[in-house]
Amino acid sequence: MPLKTKPKAIIYDWDNTLVDSWPPIRDALNTTLVHFGMMPWSMDEVRGRVRKSLRESFPDLFGDEWQNAADIFYGRYGEIHATSIEPIDGVSKMLAHNTDLGIFQAVVSNKTGKYLRKEADILGWTGYFGPIIGANDAPHDKPAIDPVHMALKGSGFAAGQSVWFVGDTDIDMQCAINADCIPVLMRRGIEEKGEFDQFSPKLRFDSAEALCKHLRNL
């Protein structure tokens, strides 16, 4: 009965699950698009289209120039991200709460690892987590299962139904299902029609507070 018992471990997505990072992502992406003579994206377009890691998405966007585009993106993102990210409401309390419950916590994100770990340090969250795994840290990025296994390495827990994967997109749900973990959606806002038809969450929460309440009731 995995949904009626507390998880032994929780793996979180990072961007827009734990932190609001759309503004610096949009800024860096539009800086890159404009450099290559392309139209900048609205925030709605960024929210709807940014899913995969850069090494998987940029070849489609920029073709043979994708590595030069990556350098421009990372150059701009590196300038602004540390002062632009904000924790999503209730997340700090959630991480502390789940630590007190003895739940092992880790991060699997498609953000490049060095930026991810720097942001965790800036927010004072590093101590809540075991491994903080970003893009390029594992042989393949999310939704592949490689980073999930890396995140759980040394924890004493294996990927399976005692592990929740908490995220805000279909890619997160796909990664959870690929790794045989419980897919958990945590985000505010209405789901788009058909958004999760292929990879459906088993649990849904509209806030970190709601997730904590659910855990307390298990």
Q: DSSP labels for 170-191?
A: HHHHHHHHHTTPEEEEE-SSPP
| Mean pLDDT score of the chain | 93
Q: Which of 163, 117, 116, 165 is nearest to 144 (CA)?
A: 165
Domain boundaries 2-20+86-217, corresponding CATH code: 3.40.50.1000
pTM value?
Answer: 0.86
Instruction: Give the integer Cα–Cα distance in Å for 202 and 177.
Output: 10
Contact 141, 53 (CB under 8 A): yes
Strand 86-87, strand 19-20: pairing:
antiparallel
Instruction: Evaluate whether the domain defined by 22-84 bears CATH number 2.60.40.
Output: no
* Residue ranges of domains in the chain: 2-20+86-217, 22-84
What pLDDT sits at residue 4?
Answer: 83
What pLDDT sits at residue 50?
Answer: 83
125-167 confidence digits (pLDDT tens):
999 999 999 999 999 999 999 999 999 999 999 999 999 999 9
Query: Is pLDDT above 80 for 73?
Result: yes
Measured from the Cβ of residue 60, the count of other Cβ atoms closer than 10 Å reads 9
Residue with tokens 């004493």: 156
